[in-house]
Amino acid sequence: MGCLQRLLLRLFLQLILVSHASGVVVKSSHVSRSWRPKLKGRLFGAGNTAEKGDKKLGGKEATCFETFRAPEKGSRVCPSQCPFMQYDLTGVCLYRCVTADQCMNAPGMPPSIPDAESGICGLCKVPGCEQCALNANKCVKCEVGYDFDDGWCLPRTRWTWRVFYVVLGIVVVSAVAWLVQLARRPVVNQIAVDAALMHRSRSKIHNEDEERRLYPLRTNLCSEFIPQGGIGVLLHFRFQRATVHWALLVAMIMGYVAFKDYSLEGVSVMELEPQHEEVFETCLSLDSEDRMDMEIMRRHFLYATAFIYIVSFVGALLFAINQRRAFVEATAGVATMSNFALFCQGFPREPWGPAAPQQGREGLEDEYTKFFRDSPWGDSVLGVSIAWDLHDRREEVVEVLDNAIARMEAEHRGDGPVSLQPPPARSCPCLPDIESKLLGVESSVRVPPREEEEAAEDAENGPPARRTSRSWRGPAFVERFTDMETTGGVFVIFDTHDDLLKAVQTPVPKFRGTHAIRVQQVDYEPATVLWDGFNVTRSQRVMHVLKGLVCLMVLMLVWAVVFWGPYAYYVLSWAKVAGSVSALKGFSGILESTVLGLLITVGNQLVYAACTSIATGSRFLTTDSRDKMAVVLYTFAVSLNIFLDLALLTYMAHGFQQDSGMDEEALVRNPSMQHALFVQLVAYIYPGTILLPFLLEPLAMCFVNFYIFSWLIRSRPDVTKLQAEKCLECAPFDLNRYGDIIVNMVLCNLIFFLTSVKIWWMFAQLVTSCVVICAWDQYRFLRECKRTEFATNKMDVCAQYLTIFPCAVLAGGLAFKYQGGQAMVKGWGRDTFLHERSEWLYVAEAMLAHVVVHSLLLYFVVPLFVRQVDPQPCTYVEVAEKSSCNWFNANPVHCMRSLHYYCHDPPHIIDLPGRAHLHKVNHDIHAYYEAPDFEEEESFLSQVFSKASESFEEAKIMMHDAKLRVASFPHRAKEEVARVSNETIARVASFPRNASEAMRSSTGSSPASTSRSSRAG
């Protein structure tokens, strides 16, 4: 259910998001001016933009087909044999003289018309026109795929789109009608909804203190270690914070460069496409000083790119060292379950055996424990947890444990036995029961016969307040598992970490005298163990991964043919037609691009689901390894999709230039071509790729995962409480955000292949995107996700290697600017582009060299700066008392044997999020965790209303105090005036006396002192 919800969520999120970019990228430079910063726009080319035609006529006539700079205003420089000037797309403000026929039918140029009055080849303004009349707004012949209609060209695909719009409208109306009907259904199962909401609250991350409350939202996840999330969460948020700092630094550097180039003139022509009607007038004002400004800008951006590359490269290495040190420090200060377990291999594969212990025969757990205690390891061994072969039996084991959990929850609530209600009558039996599949009621909890008897007794005599019988436990429930075998692997649990270290150095004898035992330490926690992966060898797992990669490549090939192929065919069909870019600016064009972008979104989600399936099918031993594999595959698949989209984007930039025949030379030589690519790339990246998906994800996640399932559950009497709890359970937290952030960084770094003072604005938007992602992930982890533990730094180390690619893109951009993109190399032709002038090969070499050097430094140098620290001394009992998950209750078969084979009382309960209140202390089986139930969490709206009411009460008190102060103001003012008046009168009355005293003191003596002095004489 979680995978289906995730797929539906991602489809909903990107319905308009990525597809929005497809609708925006077809806009021209004029349309995109509205969102640009008010800073005076600049886009410099690369070096001297007129090297190919660095010839100024100076009043002389030009020869036919000779390239020259824009002449003086009003001068006619073309001879009568070729009297019309045509723009040369291989440079800035370059023209050539052509004939009227060449003006209308020039190869590699859009349809033009000769304007005899101005002497310039003007563009035909009819989209889809192959040959225009003498009037620029009237066509004579249309392109293939267009119908001629009274001087206009109409696309033949318009009927297909109209039919599609009708079908899409029917689907949307049906979905809205179903949602309205679902919300208005009568409430018949509110008890299941309440139980599910309680379980949803319990499954979230709570503080392991006496109050057991949720962590506050202001918790600093970059510095505070959350034991329930593991060290991986801390490293993940530190990575997000570092990304924000890096994007902010780049934005500040490029902003400073833009400010330095603000006063430079003469580059506004490069913001216009060459065929724009204003380009000729702008080119007339371009002189040698303006060309020098472009050279200055070239140097500024070259130096800025080099500085950013060095800072990013060195910063990535320093951050990798800091992350690994943070991991060591965090794990050294906290003792976890991994400090007390060894994984031992070499035991024979043995069946379950009898359904219950027999006289004179020990269970496998008892036999293995006795073997290790009789070995040199001694009594330091607490017990063992056997790894069973769950490959084909996992669903059966989960069903048995679900039955047990349902019974224990019923006893905990005092509900009595589990009972099922018949499903509601279906209004249309001919249609598939989609609601039942979404809710999972087809795989409902099976009620054993004994429970049916209890249900009949309770119906006759009334249910007891709390059933104490254990009739739902016993060997009868596990008879079908007697043929289940072990995998030969066993986890041995020790009392202290020192005992474990001694055991590693002490060999053990052969098991039963024939089986040699291999011992290895574990670096993962029991909550991250995938117990169905122990029957797979390393070679088999490698083969699973290789098969998965082949399947992924086949799927991507099918995706390219089925989804991306039609989209590419559609784009290429209008990108080759003059004027079609302008025609797609309206609502119809945006809607068509949105629908086509939705097809790409579906393909992306199929690839994402395939990556997850491949990682799951590879049967890794831990969730950390599985998630790392999924993120790498997902990043690779998305990157390939991006490069395919960028190939189309380059071609669309040609349409933006009004030139379908643009060769590779123009990309590097012509700054206007770089400007066209910049506009298209920015429209692709922002906001549809790096911002809107993350803004809409909270709304979609809360609505799809909460309200729809709540409405379904309360309207269905056949949904049990356990099924309702699974439907409304919070999704687990994942670290796939690493891939999203890396892809966003790569996309933004691609801009460094181009040159524009607006680069700072793009990275400012990346800062906004990173802040939004970090804020939403913090809220999602603390409020919308169930307990998920990431015990190692494997994902973070993988992310450190993934950061190689953004830095490699920067290296490629620097090489591009230094070798070709900025030097304006002469003599580049279509045939010699990659032969005589191998600038693109230099770019590839620079990127490859960076990948190699960066990888070697991460692998060999970075670990030298990390010092290993021994964990804090602690005993297993001390850790087990604080952690609900241990090596025994994380093992599903071990819990099932504790319930039905050994019949422990209380038994080991499978550790699941939201079930911690079912754990009971039993020292005989090394179960030490028991905690009170969690406090019931208020809903989000209740919290909002509570805060609002508190604020309202505070405001009322403040207003009341203000009213009292205003009412008492006249009285207080009167008292203050009276006081000041009395003080003034007193001062005036005492003025004569004070003045006389001052005069006497000034004479130096008083009468009394004079008489005393005379008597003394």
What is the DSSP annotation of 894-924? HHHIIIIIS--SS------TT-GGG---BGG
Give the amino acid at 625: S
More confident residue, 435 or 789: 789
Residue 128, CA distances (Å) to 412, 575, 594, 821 in order? 73, 10, 21, 33
- The average pLDDT across 192-215 equals 84
Residue 239 binned pLDDT confidence (cut-offs 50, 70, 90): very high
Residue 578 binned pLDDT confidence (cut-offs 50, 70, 90): very low
Which residues pair with residue 385 across a beta bridge? 491
Q: Using alpha carbons, select from 369, 335, 401, 350 the residue that is nearest to residue 491.
A: 369
- Cβ count near 993 (within 10 Å): 9
Residue 75 binned pLDDT confidence (cut-offs 50, 70, 90): low
- The average pLDDT across 441-470 equals 46
Average model confidence (pLDDT) for the chain? 75
Tokens standing for 85? 């000037």
Please state the φ and ψ torsions of residue 780, each to the nearest 5 degrees: -65, -40
Residue 158 binned pLDDT confidence (cut-offs 50, 70, 90): confident
Angstrom distance (rounded) from CA 461 to CA 941: 42
Residue 244 binned pLDDT confidence (cut-offs 50, 70, 90): very high
Instruction: Find the range with the poorest average confidence among 120-129, 902-911, 943-952.
Output: 943-952
Using CB atoms within 10 A of its CB, is residue 355 exposed (0-12), middle (13-18) or buried (19+)?
Answer: middle
Residue 252 binned pLDDT confidence (cut-offs 50, 70, 90): very high
pLDDT at 447 over 70: no
- The average pLDDT across 26-48 equals 32
* SS3 track for 116-174: CCCCEEEECCCCCEEEECCCCCCEEEECCCEEEECCEEEECCHHHHHHHHHHHHHHHHH
Under 8 Å CB-to-CB from 84, ≥6 apart: which residues?
78, 97, 98, 99, 100, 103, 114, 115, 119, 120, 121
pLDDT at 589 over 90: no
- The average pLDDT across 326-332 equals 85
Q: Using alpha carbons, select from 50, 84, 72, 48 the residue that is nearest to residue 285.
A: 72
Residue 637 binned pLDDT confidence (cut-offs 50, 70, 90): confident
pLDDT at 431 over 60: no
What is the reported pLDDT for 102? 78
Q: Using alpha carbons, select from 490, 236, 231 the residue that is nearest to residue 343.
A: 490
Residue 2 binned pLDDT confidence (cut-offs 50, 70, 90): very low
What is the reported pLDDT for 127? 73
Instruction: Find the range with the poorest average confidence among 121-125, 152-156, 645-649, 717-721.
Output: 645-649
More confident residue, 330 or 327: 327
Residue 905 binned pLDDT confidence (cut-offs 50, 70, 90): confident
* SS3 track for 751-772: HHHCCCCCHHHHHHHHHHHHHH
Residue 896 binned pLDDT confidence (cut-offs 50, 70, 90): very high
What is the reported pLDDT for 810? 94
- The average pLDDT across 213-227 equals 88
What is the reported pLDDT for 960? 78
Residue 316 in 3-state DSSP? helix
- The average pLDDT across 755-779 equals 90
Instruction: Find the range with the poorest average confidence among 232-246, 418-432, 468-482.
Output: 418-432
pLDDT at 17 over 70: no
Q: Using alpha carbons, select from 658, 814, 668, 654 the residue that is nearest to residue 45.
A: 668
Angstrom distance (rounded) from CA 709 to CA 278: 58
Instruction: Find the range with the poorest average confidence among 258-272, 350-364, 483-497, 956-970.
Output: 258-272
What is the reported pLDDT for 672? 54
Adjacency order of strands within the sheet including 120-123: 68-69, 94-98, 84-87, 120-123, 112-115
What is the reported pLDDT for 1007? 44
Angstrom distance (rounded) from CA 112 to CA 104: 5
Instruction: Find the range with the poorest average confidence among 525-539, 695-709, 875-889, 988-1002.
Output: 988-1002
Contacts 24+ apart (CB under 8 A), 52-59: 52/90, 52/91, 52/94, 52/669, 52/826, 53/88, 53/91, 53/94
pLDDT at 511 over 50: yes
Instruction: Tell me whether strands 785-786 and 518-521 are parallel, antiparallel or unpaired.
Output: unpaired
Instruction: Find the range with the poorest average confidence among 54-68, 392-406, 654-668, 677-691.
Output: 654-668
Residue 964 binned pLDDT confidence (cut-offs 50, 70, 90): confident
Residue 896, CA distances (Å) to 362, 527, 554, 891, 899 in order? 17, 17, 41, 9, 5
What is the reported pLDDT for 467? 41
% of the chain residues with pLDDT over 90: 21
Angstrom distance (rounded) from CA 995 to CA 746: 86
Instruction: Tell me whether strands 731-732 and 785-786 are parallel, antiparallel or unpaired.
Output: parallel
Angstrom distance (rounded) from CA 548 to CA 578: 44
Tokens standing for 690? 């790096």
Residue 650 binned pLDDT confidence (cut-offs 50, 70, 90): low
- The average pLDDT across 957-980 equals 80
pLDDT at 37 over 50: no
Which residues pair with residue 123 across a beta bridge? 112
Angstrom distance (rounded) from CA 618 to CA 635: 18
Instruction: Find the range with the poorest average confidence among 38-42, 397-401, 431-435.
Output: 38-42
Angstrom distance (rounded) from CA 446 to CA 858: 53
First to last CA, the chain: 117
What is the reported pLDDT for 476? 77
pLDDT at 669 over 70: no
pLDDT at 414 over 90: no
What is the reported pLDDT for 10? 43
More confident residue, 26 or 275: 275
pLDDT at 890 over 80: yes
More confident residue, 609 or 430: 609
% of the chain residues with pLDDT over 70: 68
Residue 560, CA distances (Å) to 568, 609, 637, 642, 656 in order? 9, 16, 12, 12, 25
Tokens standing for 319? 């951050």
What is the reported pLDDT for 38? 31
Task: Give the Cα-Cα-Cα angle 13, 18, 21 (nearest 5 degrees).
Answer: 140
More confident residue, 908 or 141: 908
- The average pLDDT across 924-931 equals 90
Under 8 Å CB-to-CB from 645, ≥6 apart: which residues?
600, 684
What is the reported pLDDT for 73? 52
Angstrom distance (rounded) from CA 530 to CA 534: 8
Measure the CA dihedral 892/898/902/907, to 10°.
Answer: -170
pLDDT at 119 over 70: yes
Using CB atoms within 10 A of its CB, is residue 518 exposed (0-12), middle (13-18) or buried (19+)?
Answer: exposed
Provide DSSP, 579-598: THHHHTTSHHHHHHHHHHHH
Instruction: Find the range with the poorest average confidence among 517-531, 878-892, 953-967.
Output: 953-967
